Amino acid sequence: MAGVDINVLIYQIPGGMYSNLVNQLREQNALNRLEEVLQEVPRVRKEMGYPPLVTPTSQLVGTQATLNVLVGERWKIIPKEVRNYFLGFYGKPPAEVDSDIKKKAVGDEEPITCRPGEKIAPEMEAAKKAVEAWALQPEDALSYVLFPAVAKDFLMKKYAKKTKRDIGLETLVDGAGYPV
């Protein structure tokens, strides 16, 4: 049985974040650098404007701290999601971000000032159209939005006998149905 890891208390990071850091370092054969990463976390968090250490922002902070240590140069590699954080796609940071780090992450691009969800294009109409040949109920389009890689095939097979559609037919031909 595993005991309490005192590092969670010393560095004041959540247990889930700690275990993710350990796994990231283990995958990179760099578990011996854990102490450096743990010391880097508060620095990164401060520079990012003290985001709360809950998912997903805890993962952004932890990943950036890990990269800073493993690469050997702070903020040399900045993942897309950390860049998006500085652009406001995770909301407004609780405190001021470090202006030099922000400039390094996003250049002169200004953060969004609206609700982040307003930047996402609506998907339902496109989803309805994508599965219209096989969908028999509104939930079918939602299945496609949630599971685009498998939903079409699932719906084709599920409704083949009811719709009398050829499973391999991608589009309707003048609304014609085909015997299965």
Structural domain boundaries of the chain? 6-113, 121-180
Q: What percent of the chain has pLDDT over 70?
A: 88
pLDDT at 108: 95
pLDDT by residue (tens digit) across 125-148? Answer: 888 888 887 778 889 889 988 998
67 or 159: which carries more pLDDT confidence? Answer: 67
Work out the average pLDDT over 95-119. Answer: 94
Look at 113 and 167; give whichever has higher pLDDT.
Answer: 113
Contacts of residues 84-90 at CB distance under 8 Å and 24 or more positions apart, as own/partner, are: 85/48, 85/51, 85/57, 85/60, 86/48, 86/111, 87/111, 87/112, 88/112, 88/113, 88/116, 89/116, 89/119, 90/51, 90/56, 90/57, 90/60, 90/116
Q: What is the pLDDT of residues 44-96, one digit of tens each?
A: 999 999 999 999 999 999 999 999 999 999 999 999 999 999 999 999 999 99
Superfamily of domain 6-113: Conserved carboxylase domain (1.10.472.90)
Gap between the Cα atoms of 180 and 164, Å rounded:
5
Q: Is 174 left (phi over 0), alpha (psi -120 to 50) or beta?
A: left
pLDDT score, position 13: 86
Is pLDDT larger for residue 117 or for residue 76?
76
* Positive or negative torsion for Cα 120, 121, 125, 128: negative
Confidence at residue 30, expressed as pLDDT on a 0 to 100 scale: 96
Name the pTM for this structure.
0.69
Q: Are 80 and 122 in contact (CB under 8 A)?
A: no
